[in-house]
A = this chain, B = another copy of it.
Amino acid sequence: MNQNYIIPNEWSIIEEGFHKENITTSESIFSIGNGAMGQRANFEETYTGETFQGSYIGGIYYPDKTRVGWWKNGYPKYFAKVLNAPNWIGIDIKIDNQLLDLAKCKVLNYRRELNMKDGILIRSFTAKFSDEKKIEVEAYRFLSLDFNEVGAIKYSVTPINFSGEIEFIPYLDAGIVNEDSNYDEFFWEILQIEEEETEAYILSKTFKTEFHVCTGMKIELALNDYEINLDKETEKTEKNISFKYKTNIKQGDTFTIYKYGSYTQSMNHPKAELIFAAEKVLQKAAIIGFDNLLDKQRFAWAKIWKTADIIIEGDLKAQQAIRFNIFQLNQTYSGKDSRLNIGPKGFTGEKYGGSTYWDTEAYCIPFYMSTKDKNVAKNLLLYRYNQLDKAIKNPELLGFNGGAALYPMVTMNGEECHNEWEITFEEIHRNGSMIYAIYNYVNYSGDYSYIPEFGMEVIIAIARFWCQRATFSSDKERYVILGVTGPNEYENNVNNNWYTNYLAKWCIEYTLENLGYLKDKFQSDYNRIISKTNLNEQEIKEMQTIATSMYFPYSEKNEVFLQQDGFLDKELIPVSELDSSQRPINQKWSWDRILRSPYIKQADVLQGIYFFENHFENHLIKDHFDFYEPLTVHESSLSPCVHSILASKINRIDKAYEMYLQTARLDLDDYNQEVHEGLHITSMAGTWLSIVQGFGGMRNFDNRLSFNPQIPSQWESYSFKINYRGNTLKVYKNHKTCEFINESDNPIDIYINNKKITLSQQMKVKI
């Protein structure tokens, strides 16, 4: 553990005492978001210490000129950057002409709280200036879930030991740059700066992509809770606008500024109407008022928690951590808009660029699918469906054809934007997880109609890719898949990665199975799809041949599938024998040394065993776990969860708990000393999976919902809720008992030890 200043609390993330060295880390951890936009927990007032200012709008990106040492054919020309957007939270504070700046004042009673129950960020402190004047400050901020173009701030200042002049200088600043710009380019062009009575607007657009964004603010003032009006002075520069409100207040009086901020943008409004739209939404927010908006915010979060909460008794830090993860996932993606997705850092930082990785399909969809309405997961599937044309275009650059799709490794708009040949061109297993996600969704939701309506086209295009990518080895008399990188990115350009081959074979089989089913049951959809995709009998026959004759590397001696051809040539020294000075190897070792080593970054063979657990007998799961886990360094945030789930599966609850700990507080305790760059949003879904699929043993294979709850000795009890086909099911487990509570008005069928149990409405079953 690398930091320890977050105070344990069941519903809040709390920091007490002001420490400059924690600022950028806390800016990440206390981030807020509403699915459409999000921001780091930067201060409203000036802060001249080290800070990483960040505010982001879902879907708005910039195609930054890529930085590549040695160009390879097929590389995309740009890297899509999540765009740091204009700052609307800024409020400079002056006390008798002294600027409030926590880097320079003495700071007392500093406290920051991210209240996850209500979805609000609260900060309070006392600042002492060099002339001994002291003020008390309280700041509340949230981004509205109900009106997702709006955020609201309530910022109050109370002079403690003096009466004097206070200035509030709220501003909009569009002179924002991305920290990770490759060539220090400025990504925004400022088009218009407008001012009205208590409102200001900056209309700007991104270069190249031409997204238009209007950033707005509306100001209200109050003295001791009574609204007041003050004259203002306006200052405008090329890239920002500020209002100055000045007044004299008495010792003990509280001067408050309400600042409503908004982003309206061209994905949602005509470009010409963005300022008007901003006016409308800000005026509406002001009419509703801060307190009522906050009530609505509480209500909206209560609704989320109702089907998503996990309660852990007997371990406050675990309780805090799991809620933090659930909270951040909900801040990042609300599921309302199929054009958005879940960036690896959400709205909390810029690193990695793009918004979409295979993390979404492999880790995030199960979370959203189980805690929200089925349309949320469906929107994530539709995101890929809507990008199918581009996924078919991508591999054409690589020499594929005939409607074969390769979904990008990293994308914002469906085009690949990653440029490392060993990843971009070779980490093709990602393609399989697109089909897996459809399979997973259909199994969980029971909504088979997604396949004839949308999914089948994606499935066929991906199966085609696999068929073209597999080649026949005369030597092995089997189809092989050469030159790939598996989920374990500590191997590059290997032949016959078992996971990739297995997934490819399954994808093709699933394609054939669904083709058959559609032909039988959805004749008109079938005809439409066949005609649209030009799939013919010859191709189908080829698919059958390839699926039947796929090669899998296997060790007779060890009785395990091999991660890839030649894996046994490595020196198989377990991680436990590595000197700790050598860890993490991705920081200590050169790339070739990592590649030659047997060490596994994240589940690879075990990722396949996890996905297709129902294909493997328990003893095989155990054998593979015992062979691979000791070689795994878990240097991806997505690694521990899969291992935790499998450890639970094979009844190694202590191992499962050990793995769970590596994922649960990854960001809160900043294990990798990099949280200042942003949170690991997608791996938070893995934490949730570790509990629900791991300890809870929830599965949804074969259209059945099954459980096998266990509990780590460190906890007294835990319970989680899921939304299963529109109904809320609660699972409670302590060391003596296990309860399943149907909180809805429809019966739910579940399976325990292969035995079906029907839970009637509102019924509780103990086992």
Contact = CB atoms under 8 A, between A and B. Distances in A.
A92 B169 CA distance: 63
B565 A425 contact: no
A266 to B, nearest CB: 31
A482 B593 CA distance: 10
A596 B68 contact: no
Interface in A137-152: none
A472 interface: yes
B69 A482 contact: no
A496 B596 CA distance: 12
Contacts of A66: 69
Interface string A556-599: 01000000011011111000000000000011111111011000
A560 B111 CA distance: 73
Contact of A483 (B69, B397, B471, B596): B596
Interface stretch (A70-78, A206-214, A662-670): A70-78
A476 interface: yes
Contact of A569 (B495, B570, B592): B495
Nearest to A469: B596
A590 B492 CA distance: 16
Contacts of A398: 590, 592-593
Given A471-B596, A595-B493, A69 B72 contact: no
Most B-side CB within 10 Å, residue of A69, A72, A475: A69
A480 B569 CA distance: 7
A493 B495 contact: no
Interface in A236-256: none
Contact of A593 (B399, B420, B596): B399
A473 interface: yes
Given A69-B68, A569-B495, A425 B475 contact: no
Contacts of A67: 67-69
A97 interface: no
Nearest to A571: B471
A566 B482 CA distance: 9
A696 B419 CA distance: 47
A589 B420 contact: no
Interface string A418-429: 011100011000
A593 B571 CA distance: 30
Interface string A454-493: 0000000000000000011111100010110000000011
Given A67-B67, A398-B592, 6 more contacts: A74-B592, A421-B591, A426-B592, A471-B569, A473-B570, A482-B596
Q: Which 8 A-B pairs have the closest CB atoms?
A: A74-B590, A425-B592, A475-B568, A398-B590, A68-B69, A473-B569, A72-B591, A421-B591
